[in-house]
Amino acid sequence: MRDMHRWEQLRPEEFLTEQERAPVVYCAFGPMEDHGLQNALGVDPGKAHEICRRAAHISGGIVFPMVPFAPAGAPPLSREQMLTGEFPLFPPSLFVSVELCRNVAGELFERFAALGFRLCVGFGGHGPAASLLKQMAGEHNGDVTGMSLLTCGSTTYTADIIRESGGDDPKPLSHGGKWETAMNMALNSDYVDLSRVRDIDPSPIPSQLKGRTDTQLRGIEAATVAFGETLIDTAAERLAAEVKGRLG
């Protein structure tokens, strides 16, 4: 069975018919990145792509294949900075330079516009990817040769729900926390093994999740597929509503 909103699964006439019906293209960006020993590495582009896919089923439109490139750091690192070895890059995470990401996203936006899309959703499934996309949209005044750009990130549409369900966790929006782990579970429950959460600190593998408090670790262990589904569905509904509003 095919998904009639995924670019790579459509035949040319089907693509053109869908594009005519809803001239919006969704494009999700994110790196392969450590999110703790419990998570498979593709959570960032994976969740962003899935939110886009579900949004396209509501708004119409076409989803480009996930772009597995994003920069590290805030502000995002240049290639020169990465080559100094002075910045932690948490292998086996794989980030690329901000200049490459800027070129990739910039050219994709130009090509989408040349193909006749009227609106592009640039979804950064990773903090520095979202901030770069937002910056690029600002530089273009939200418009690339007649195509509007709508940029967003992983928590743009669900920060309220993540905070409400945070319990006693003082930082419910933390990297690799309950919210991201739950969404990764919703993508595929085999992508997550919650029994590994307590192994993060003693492990020799570097992780941005080292040093989390017991409260935070308990929060991650409370992640469920159902919570991940709620977050992905809610983000998709809210994003699709904004897209429909823009398409008019």
Q: What are the residues binding Zn ion (CB under 5 A)?
A: 44
Closer to Zn ion by Cβ: residue 61 or 177? 177
Q: How far is the CB of 210 from Zn ion (least distance, A)?
A: 16
Please give the helix or strand (H or E) that residue 159 lies within, else none: helix 159-164
Q: How far is the CB of 1 from Zn ion (least distance, A)?
A: 29
Query: What is 202-225 written as a DSSP string?
Result: T-SS--TTTT--HHHHHHHHT--H
Place of tokens 């509904």: 237
Q: How far is the CB of 178 from Zn ion (least distance, A)?
A: 13
Closer to Zn ion by Cβ: residue 47 or 54? 47
Is residue 33 within 8 Å of residue 93, measured between CB atoms? Answer: yes
Closest by CA to 61, choosing from 243, 208, 230, is: 243
In this structure, is the dihedral angle defined by the CA atoms of residues 14, 65, 130 and 139, taken in order, positive or negative?
Answer: negative
Closer to Zn ion by Cβ: residue 43 or 121? 43
Closer to Zn ion by Cβ: residue 44 or 169? 44
Name beta bridge partners: 25. Answer: 62, 120
Copy the structure tokens of residue 17.
Answer: 């018919």
Closer to Zn ion by Cβ: residue 23 or 128? 128
Q: How far is the CB of 19 from Zn ion (least distance, A)?
A: 30
The residue with its CB nearest to Zn ion is 44
Q: How far is the CB of 225 from Zn ion (least distance, A)?
A: 18
